[in-house]
Amino acid sequence: MRKNINEQASNGYKIICVDDEPGVLDSLSVFLRRDGYQITGVTDPLEAIERIKKEHFDLLLLDFIMTPIHGDQVVEEIRKFNKELYILLLTGHKDLAPPLETIKRLDIQGYCEKMDKPDQLQLLVESGIKAVEQMNLIKKINNELKETNEKLEKAYLETIETLRYTVEAKDTYTRGHSDRVSAYSVLIGKHLNLSEEDLYTLKIGGLFHDIGKIGVPDSILLKTEKLTDDEYSEIKNHPTIGAHILSNAAIFEKAIPIVKHHHERYDGHGYPSKLVGENIPYFARIAAVADTFDAMTSRRTYRDSLPLDVVKQEIEKNKGTQFDPKIADVFLDILNNHYEEIEEIRNKY
Ligand SMILES: [Fe+2]
Ligand SMILES: [Fe+2]
Protein backbone atom coordinates (compact mmCIF):
# COMPACT_ATOMS: atom_id res chain seq x y z
CA MET A 1 0.00 0.00 0.00
CA ARG A 2 1.43 3.34 -1.00
CA LYS A 3 0.35 6.89 -0.89
CA ASN A 4 1.88 9.40 -3.28
CA ILE A 5 1.19 13.02 -2.62
CA ASN A 6 1.29 15.24 -5.68
CA GLU A 7 4.28 17.47 -5.96
CA GLN A 8 3.86 21.21 -6.49
CA ALA A 9 6.08 24.30 -7.10
CA SER A 10 9.21 23.14 -5.40
CA ASN A 11 12.66 24.16 -4.22
CA GLY A 12 14.07 21.11 -6.02
CA TYR A 13 14.67 18.98 -2.94
CA LYS A 14 13.03 15.60 -2.72
CA ILE A 15 12.01 14.13 0.58
CA ILE A 16 10.67 10.63 1.07
CA CYS A 17 8.47 10.19 4.13
CA VAL A 18 7.86 6.72 5.45
CA ASP A 19 5.16 6.09 8.03
CA ASP A 20 2.69 3.23 8.25
CA GLU A 21 -0.05 5.62 9.31
CA PRO A 22 -1.48 7.44 6.25
CA GLY A 23 -2.79 10.22 8.50
CA VAL A 24 0.70 11.07 9.67
CA LEU A 25 1.96 11.11 6.08
CA ASP A 26 -0.81 13.52 5.14
CA SER A 27 -0.05 16.03 7.85
CA LEU A 28 3.72 15.77 7.27
CA SER A 29 3.28 16.47 3.60
CA VAL A 30 1.02 19.46 4.12
CA PHE A 31 3.53 21.56 5.97
CA LEU A 32 6.60 20.26 4.13
CA ARG A 33 5.01 21.07 0.78
CA ARG A 34 4.36 24.56 2.09
CA ASP A 35 8.14 24.91 2.34
CA GLY A 36 8.53 23.84 -1.27
CA TYR A 37 9.79 20.28 -0.83
CA GLN A 38 8.80 17.53 -3.22
CA ILE A 39 7.25 14.89 -1.02
CA THR A 40 6.89 11.20 -1.70
CA GLY A 41 4.89 9.42 0.94
CA VAL A 42 5.22 5.67 1.41
CA THR A 43 3.41 3.57 4.01
CA ASP A 44 5.25 0.29 3.45
CA PRO A 45 8.85 0.38 4.75
CA LEU A 46 9.95 -2.44 2.40
CA GLU A 47 8.64 -0.52 -0.57
CA ALA A 48 10.43 2.59 0.65
CA ILE A 49 13.74 0.69 0.51
CA GLU A 50 13.04 -0.30 -3.10
CA ARG A 51 12.10 3.28 -4.06
CA ILE A 52 15.33 4.61 -2.54
CA LYS A 53 17.27 2.03 -4.53
CA LYS A 54 15.79 3.31 -7.78
CA GLU A 55 15.18 7.03 -7.23
CA HIS A 56 17.14 9.95 -5.91
CA PHE A 57 15.98 11.53 -2.67
CA ASP A 58 17.76 14.20 -0.66
CA LEU A 59 16.29 13.31 2.68
CA LEU A 60 14.42 10.49 4.34
CA LEU A 61 11.91 11.10 7.11
CA LEU A 62 11.32 7.79 8.77
CA ASP A 63 8.93 6.52 11.38
CA PHE A 64 10.53 4.30 13.98
CA ILE A 65 7.86 1.81 15.06
CA MET A 66 6.43 0.21 11.91
CA THR A 67 5.46 -3.16 10.53
CA PRO A 68 6.81 -5.41 9.15
CA ILE A 69 10.16 -3.86 10.04
CA HIS A 70 11.16 -1.00 12.30
CA GLY A 71 12.84 2.19 11.19
CA ASP A 72 16.29 1.16 12.38
CA GLN A 73 16.11 -2.00 10.25
CA VAL A 74 15.03 0.10 7.28
CA VAL A 75 18.09 2.29 7.75
CA GLU A 76 20.29 -0.77 8.14
CA GLU A 77 19.10 -2.01 4.73
CA ILE A 78 19.49 1.41 3.10
CA ARG A 79 23.01 1.90 4.42
CA LYS A 80 24.05 -1.26 2.59
CA PHE A 81 23.69 0.55 -0.74
CA ASN A 82 23.42 4.24 0.13
CA LYS A 83 25.77 5.85 2.63
CA GLU A 84 24.92 9.42 1.67
CA LEU A 85 21.19 9.75 2.22
CA TYR A 86 20.35 12.18 4.98
CA ILE A 87 18.05 10.42 7.44
CA LEU A 88 15.81 11.83 10.15
CA LEU A 89 14.04 9.40 12.42
CA LEU A 90 10.59 10.22 13.77
CA THR A 91 9.55 8.74 17.05
CA GLY A 92 6.01 8.45 18.31
CA HIS A 93 7.00 8.71 21.91
CA LYS A 94 10.27 9.62 23.58
CA ASP A 95 10.55 6.28 25.39
CA LEU A 96 10.37 4.39 22.13
CA ALA A 97 13.37 6.11 20.54
CA PRO A 98 16.19 3.74 19.60
CA PRO A 99 19.34 3.93 21.73
CA LEU A 100 21.79 6.67 20.79
CA GLU A 101 24.39 4.04 19.82
CA THR A 102 22.05 2.68 17.17
CA ILE A 103 21.42 6.16 15.85
CA LYS A 104 25.15 6.80 15.57
CA ARG A 105 25.99 3.39 14.15
CA LEU A 106 23.44 3.70 11.37
CA ASP A 107 24.51 7.23 10.59
CA ILE A 108 21.09 8.70 11.30
CA GLN A 109 21.49 12.47 11.31
CA GLY A 110 18.74 13.34 13.77
CA TYR A 111 15.48 12.35 15.40
CA CYS A 112 12.38 14.10 16.54
CA GLU A 113 9.04 13.42 18.15
CA LYS A 114 6.64 13.65 15.31
CA MET A 115 3.33 14.71 16.77
CA ASP A 116 4.06 17.26 19.42
CA LYS A 117 6.37 19.70 17.74
CA PRO A 118 5.89 20.27 14.02
CA ASP A 119 7.97 23.45 14.22
CA GLN A 120 10.88 21.53 15.60
CA LEU A 121 10.59 18.98 12.83
CA GLN A 122 10.39 21.74 10.26
CA LEU A 123 13.64 23.25 11.55
CA LEU A 124 15.28 19.86 11.62
CA VAL A 125 14.32 19.25 8.00
CA GLU A 126 15.52 22.70 7.03
CA SER A 127 18.95 22.23 8.60
CA GLY A 128 19.10 18.73 7.10
CA ILE A 129 18.55 20.15 3.65
CA LYS A 130 21.20 22.79 4.29
CA ALA A 131 23.63 20.02 5.17
CA VAL A 132 22.68 18.19 1.98
CA GLU A 133 23.33 21.41 0.01
CA GLN A 134 26.80 21.68 1.52
CA MET A 135 27.50 18.04 0.80
CA ASN A 136 26.48 18.51 -2.82
CA LEU A 137 28.64 21.59 -3.14
CA ILE A 138 31.66 19.79 -1.71
CA LYS A 139 31.06 16.86 -4.05
CA LYS A 140 30.87 19.22 -7.03
CA ILE A 141 34.06 21.06 -6.06
CA ASN A 142 35.83 17.75 -5.49
CA ASN A 143 34.86 16.52 -8.94
CA GLU A 144 35.99 19.76 -10.54
CA LEU A 145 39.29 19.58 -8.68
CA LYS A 146 39.77 16.00 -9.80
CA GLU A 147 39.18 16.93 -13.42
CA THR A 148 41.52 19.91 -13.26
CA ASN A 149 44.13 17.77 -11.58
CA GLU A 150 43.91 15.12 -14.26
CA LYS A 151 44.32 17.74 -16.96
CA LEU A 152 47.29 19.28 -15.16
CA GLU A 153 48.94 15.90 -14.69
CA LYS A 154 48.49 15.11 -18.36
CA ALA A 155 49.93 18.46 -19.43
CA TYR A 156 52.86 18.02 -17.06
CA LEU A 157 53.55 14.51 -18.31
CA GLU A 158 53.56 15.81 -21.87
CA THR A 159 56.03 18.56 -20.98
CA ILE A 160 58.36 16.08 -19.35
CA GLU A 161 57.99 13.76 -22.36
CA THR A 162 59.21 16.61 -24.56
CA LEU A 163 62.17 17.00 -22.24
CA ARG A 164 62.87 13.31 -22.54
CA TYR A 165 62.88 13.49 -26.32
CA THR A 166 65.29 16.44 -26.09
CA VAL A 167 67.70 14.25 -24.14
CA GLU A 168 67.32 11.40 -26.58
CA ALA A 169 67.73 13.72 -29.57
CA LYS A 170 71.14 14.92 -28.48
CA ASP A 171 72.43 11.57 -27.34
CA THR A 172 71.94 8.85 -29.89
CA TYR A 173 72.88 6.17 -27.39
CA THR A 174 70.02 7.23 -25.17
CA ARG A 175 67.56 6.95 -28.05
CA GLY A 176 65.19 4.15 -27.26
CA HIS A 177 67.23 3.42 -24.14
CA SER A 178 64.70 4.77 -21.65
CA ASP A 179 61.81 3.03 -23.42
CA ARG A 180 63.68 -0.27 -23.21
CA VAL A 181 64.79 0.22 -19.58
CA SER A 182 61.17 1.00 -18.77
CA ALA A 183 59.92 -2.13 -20.53
CA TYR A 184 62.65 -4.40 -19.04
CA SER A 185 61.88 -3.04 -15.57
CA VAL A 186 58.18 -3.78 -16.00
CA LEU A 187 59.05 -7.25 -17.32
CA ILE A 188 61.16 -7.99 -14.22
CA GLY A 189 58.35 -6.57 -12.07
CA LYS A 190 55.87 -8.94 -13.69
CA HIS A 191 58.13 -11.92 -13.00
CA LEU A 192 58.31 -10.72 -9.38
CA ASN A 193 54.47 -10.69 -9.30
CA LEU A 194 54.28 -7.00 -8.46
CA SER A 195 50.96 -5.16 -8.45
CA GLU A 196 49.66 -3.11 -11.40
CA GLU A 197 50.38 0.06 -9.44
CA ASP A 198 53.99 -0.99 -8.86
CA LEU A 199 54.39 -1.90 -12.52
CA TYR A 200 53.18 1.60 -13.43
CA THR A 201 55.78 3.12 -11.10
CA LEU A 202 58.48 0.99 -12.75
CA LYS A 203 57.27 2.10 -16.16
CA ILE A 204 57.39 5.82 -15.33
CA GLY A 205 60.68 5.46 -13.46
CA GLY A 206 62.27 3.67 -16.42
CA LEU A 207 61.02 6.23 -18.92
CA PHE A 208 62.50 9.13 -17.01
CA HIS A 209 65.48 7.58 -15.23
CA ASP A 210 68.05 9.47 -17.33
CA ILE A 211 66.07 12.71 -17.66
CA GLY A 212 68.77 14.45 -15.59
CA LYS A 213 71.16 14.11 -18.53
CA ILE A 214 69.48 17.24 -19.86
CA GLY A 215 71.61 19.04 -17.26
CA VAL A 216 74.90 17.47 -18.37
CA PRO A 217 76.87 19.50 -20.96
CA ASP A 218 76.82 18.07 -24.49
CA SER A 219 80.60 18.26 -24.65
CA ILE A 220 80.73 15.61 -21.92
CA LEU A 221 77.63 13.63 -22.81
CA LEU A 222 78.64 13.17 -26.45
CA LYS A 223 82.36 12.76 -25.90
CA THR A 224 83.69 9.60 -27.54
CA GLU A 225 87.11 9.62 -25.88
CA LYS A 226 87.69 8.54 -22.32
CA LEU A 227 86.20 10.96 -19.78
CA THR A 228 88.40 12.76 -17.25
CA ASP A 229 87.56 12.31 -13.57
CA ASP A 230 85.92 15.74 -13.52
CA GLU A 231 83.82 14.96 -16.56
CA TYR A 232 82.80 11.65 -15.10
CA SER A 233 81.64 13.34 -11.91
CA GLU A 234 79.51 15.70 -14.02
CA ILE A 235 77.82 12.66 -15.57
CA LYS A 236 77.29 11.26 -12.10
CA ASN A 237 75.10 14.26 -11.29
CA HIS A 238 72.34 13.12 -13.64
CA PRO A 239 70.33 11.04 -11.12
CA THR A 240 70.17 13.95 -8.67
CA ILE A 241 69.33 16.46 -11.41
CA GLY A 242 66.62 14.10 -12.71
CA ALA A 243 65.05 13.64 -9.28
CA HIS A 244 65.05 17.41 -8.88
CA ILE A 245 63.36 17.99 -12.26
CA LEU A 246 60.58 15.54 -11.40
CA SER A 247 60.12 16.67 -7.82
CA ASN A 248 57.57 19.32 -8.76
CA ALA A 249 54.73 17.00 -9.68
CA ALA A 250 52.95 14.57 -7.40
CA ILE A 251 52.55 12.04 -10.25
CA PHE A 252 56.30 11.34 -10.18
CA GLU A 253 56.52 10.95 -6.43
CA LYS A 254 56.79 7.17 -6.45
CA ALA A 255 59.10 7.05 -9.47
CA ILE A 256 61.63 9.54 -8.10
CA PRO A 257 63.56 6.96 -6.02
CA ILE A 258 64.16 5.02 -9.26
CA VAL A 259 65.51 8.13 -10.98
CA LYS A 260 67.67 9.10 -8.06
CA HIS A 261 69.10 5.68 -7.21
CA HIS A 262 69.38 3.71 -10.44
CA HIS A 263 73.19 3.93 -10.27
CA GLU A 264 73.56 2.70 -6.72
CA ARG A 265 75.39 -0.60 -6.36
CA TYR A 266 74.39 -3.40 -4.01
CA ASP A 267 77.87 -3.32 -2.42
CA GLY A 268 77.54 0.41 -1.64
CA HIS A 269 80.04 1.61 -4.26
CA GLY A 270 77.45 3.26 -6.50
CA TYR A 271 76.21 6.84 -6.69
CA PRO A 272 74.88 9.34 -5.74
CA SER A 273 74.17 8.16 -2.17
CA LYS A 274 76.41 5.06 -1.84
CA LEU A 275 73.43 3.17 -0.44
CA VAL A 276 74.07 -0.48 0.45
CA GLY A 277 71.95 -3.58 -0.23
CA GLU A 278 68.31 -3.33 0.71
CA ASN A 279 68.73 0.31 1.67
CA ILE A 280 68.60 0.97 -2.05
CA PRO A 281 64.92 1.47 -3.00
CA TYR A 282 63.58 -1.82 -4.37
CA PHE A 283 62.40 -0.41 -7.69
CA ALA A 284 65.77 1.29 -8.21
CA ARG A 285 67.45 -2.12 -7.77
CA ILE A 286 65.17 -3.48 -10.49
CA ALA A 287 65.84 -0.55 -12.81
CA ALA A 288 69.61 -0.93 -12.22
CA VAL A 289 69.54 -4.45 -13.70
CA ALA A 290 67.40 -3.29 -16.64
CA ASP A 291 69.63 -0.26 -17.23
CA THR A 292 72.89 -2.20 -17.22
CA PHE A 293 71.44 -4.91 -19.44
CA ASP A 294 70.43 -2.31 -22.01
CA ALA A 295 73.82 -0.62 -21.84
CA MET A 296 75.53 -3.96 -22.50
CA THR A 297 73.24 -4.93 -25.33
CA SER A 298 73.25 -1.55 -27.12
CA ARG A 299 75.83 -0.55 -29.68
CA ARG A 300 78.12 2.17 -28.34
CA THR A 301 80.39 4.46 -30.28
CA TYR A 302 83.40 2.57 -28.97
CA ARG A 303 82.09 -0.99 -29.15
CA ASP A 304 79.46 -3.27 -30.60
CA SER A 305 76.75 -4.73 -28.40
CA LEU A 306 77.98 -7.64 -26.32
CA PRO A 307 76.99 -11.24 -27.14
CA LEU A 308 74.24 -12.64 -24.93
CA ASP A 309 76.56 -15.22 -23.33
CA VAL A 310 78.93 -12.51 -22.19
CA VAL A 311 76.01 -10.43 -20.88
CA LYS A 312 74.73 -13.37 -18.82
CA GLN A 313 78.20 -14.04 -17.42
CA GLU A 314 78.52 -10.37 -16.45
CA ILE A 315 75.20 -10.38 -14.62
CA GLU A 316 76.10 -13.65 -12.88
CA LYS A 317 79.51 -12.26 -11.90
CA ASN A 318 78.07 -9.01 -10.50
CA LYS A 319 75.36 -10.61 -8.39
CA GLY A 320 75.68 -9.24 -4.88
CA THR A 321 78.28 -6.64 -5.86
CA GLN A 322 76.56 -4.49 -8.45
CA PHE A 323 73.13 -6.12 -8.43
CA ASP A 324 70.61 -7.31 -5.90
CA PRO A 325 71.25 -11.09 -6.18
CA LYS A 326 67.55 -12.05 -6.07
CA ILE A 327 66.60 -9.60 -8.81
CA ALA A 328 69.61 -10.65 -10.89
CA ASP A 329 68.49 -14.29 -10.58
CA VAL A 330 64.99 -13.40 -11.74
CA PHE A 331 66.44 -11.56 -14.72
CA LEU A 332 68.79 -14.44 -15.56
CA ASP A 333 65.79 -16.75 -15.47
CA ILE A 334 64.04 -14.46 -17.97
CA LEU A 335 67.14 -14.46 -20.20
CA ASN A 336 67.47 -18.24 -20.01
CA ASN A 337 63.86 -19.34 -20.17
CA HIS A 338 61.75 -16.49 -21.52
CA TYR A 339 64.08 -14.78 -23.97
CA GLU A 340 61.22 -14.15 -26.41
CA GLU A 341 59.88 -11.54 -23.95
CA ILE A 342 63.18 -9.66 -24.15
CA GLU A 343 63.26 -9.97 -27.91
CA GLU A 344 59.79 -8.49 -28.19
CA ILE A 345 60.96 -5.37 -26.36
CA ARG A 346 64.14 -5.10 -28.45
CA ASN A 347 62.14 -5.32 -31.65
CA LYS A 348 59.69 -2.70 -30.48
CA TYR A 349 62.14 0.06 -29.48
FE1 LIG B 1 71.59 6.73 -15.73
FE1 LIG C 1 70.21 4.66 -18.23
pLDDT above 70 as % of the chain = 93
- Ligand 1 centroid from CA 47, angstroms: 65
Whole-prediction pTM: 0.62
Length of the chain: 349
* pLDDT tens readout for residues 283-310: 999 999 999 999 999 877 666 788 899 9
> Domain 14-141: which CATH class?
alpha beta
pLDDT band at 105 (very low <50, low <70, confident <90, very high): confident
pLDDT band at 75 (very low <50, low <70, confident <90, very high): very high
- Which architecture characterizes domain 171-348 according to CATH? Orthogonal Bundle (1.10)
- Ligand 2 centroid from CA 209, angstroms: 6
- Ligand 1 centroid from CA 66, angstroms: 71
Inter-residue contact 205 to 258 (CB < 8 Å): yes
How confident is the model at residue 302, as a pLDDT?
A: 63
pLDDT band at 74 (very low <50, low <70, confident <90, very high): very high
pLDDT band at 134 (very low <50, low <70, confident <90, very high): confident
- Ligand 2 centroid from CA 152, angstroms: 27
Omega of the bond leading into 99 within 30 degrees of 0 (cis): no
What is the residue extent of each domain of the chain?
Answer: 14-141, 171-348
Q: Tell me the mean pLDDT in the region 77-88.
A: 92
Ligand nearest to the CA of 177: 2
- Ligand 2 centroid from CA 220, angstroms: 16
Neighbours of ion ligand 2 (CB under 5 A): 210, 291
Measured CA to CA, the distance from residue 324 to residue 315 in angstroms comes to 10
pLDDT band at 1 (very low <50, low <70, confident <90, very high): very low
Measured CA to CA, the distance from residue 66 to residue 89 in angstroms comes to 12
Which of 37-51, 54-68, 213-227, 266-280 is predicted with the least confidence, judged by mean pLDDT?
213-227
| pLDDT higher than 80, residue 55 | yes
How confident is the model at residue 95, as a pLDDT?
A: 57
